[in-house]
Amino acid sequence: MDKVKQIWFVIQQFLKESRTELKKVTWPTSKQAIASTSVVVVLTVIVSLVLGFIDFGLAKIIRLVLG
């Protein structure tokens, strides 16, 4: 039974500390969040296209070399 109380105490302590830390966070505005998300989406598309072209080119080169 002591083990259960100890685990419960640790969980409560963790939740209290988490709540305290979350109060310190400076949350972005919705405009900032949308702008950051847009940048991530655009960069992800650009990187995936570049990697796709590289993959396509390397596949062509390998087919030429190996016949």
How high is the pLDDT of residue 18? 97
Q: What is the pTM of this model?
A: 0.63
b/e code 26-47 from CB counts within 10 Å (16+ = b): eeeeeeeeeeeeeeeeeeeeee
Q: Kindly report the average pLDDT of the chain as a whole number.
A: 95
Assigned token pair, 37: 């998300």
Distances, alpha carbon 37 to alpha carbons 25, 45, 46, in Å? 19, 12, 14
User: pLDDT over 90 for what percent of the chain?
Assistant: 93
What are 13-45's pLDDT values in tens digits? 999 999 999 999 999 999 999 999 999 999 999
